[in-house]
Amino acid sequence: MKPNDFLDKFYSRRQSTIKRLLIITILILLVVTASLQFHQKENFIAKITVEGIIKDRNDILEQLNNLDADENVKGLITVINSPGGTYVGSKEIHESIKNLSKKIPTVAYMREMATSGGYLVSLSSDRIFGNEATITGSIGVILQTANISQLLDKLGINPVIIKSGDLKAVPNPAEEIDTEKLNYLKDIIQKMQKEFLNLVKKNRDISNSTIELVSDGRIVTGKQAKDLKLIDAVGTENDALSWLRQEAGLGDDVKVKDLSIQNDITKVFNLNFLKKKINYLNQNFYNGFIAIWTPGI
């Protein structure tokens, strides 16, 4: 036998083994997924996780829409660990959970952080729990930009900007922003801030003096949030689940179904999972109005 023939057979066997292992792995994942789908016929408590920067979370919106059509779901716990994100993205999740709250009891549990858009999401639940050390608050909207016109001038670059109106593409980093344009942007921010604060008023039984206090965008701990009535109770995730079971009249035998785990399994069969998403770094490239708390950035 020639050396090359031996190597060819070796590589051929190795490729065949790898293919078999891949097929077996896929079959196992299919069985697990099918098993999870089968168990959906039983009554259950759904758990979703809102983590990291909130932006284009269609996965969460799809989960909530599916729950709305599922007669076996008897309660929802939303675990939040997020500094916030885009205002619209946060509000979409808020509205979806609020709609689901008409059907089943809902509870939110804040982990390390539930600020700005993260807090906006928590407002949608019937009851809010947080840890004593949870960072929350930062109620508000922000628009970030920069004026690099002087830098461009030093580099000998003269931007040519042709636009249909004076307020088109404002703010534009390539041109200076005058008082009129600045006031125009501030007015938009104030309108969105007013909408955010109205949601807080609508969902929390707090005084106008407290609203005025937190409207400056300050952050607070979970304990402070409880004193300010921004949340209902200081406790653990188990405390939140206990409240949910009691509110829904469910026993300990009703299982909690973590939808984020099922979503991770489903992603294995979606080629989009190959696309890397660096959630934290993405926040530096956001355009538009965001509700987020980003210290040091």
Which residue numbers are catalytic?
Answer: 116, 168
Is residue 220 within 8 A of residue 137, CB to CB? The reply is yes
User: Which of 39, 80, 107 minimizes the C-alpha distance to 257?
Assistant: 39
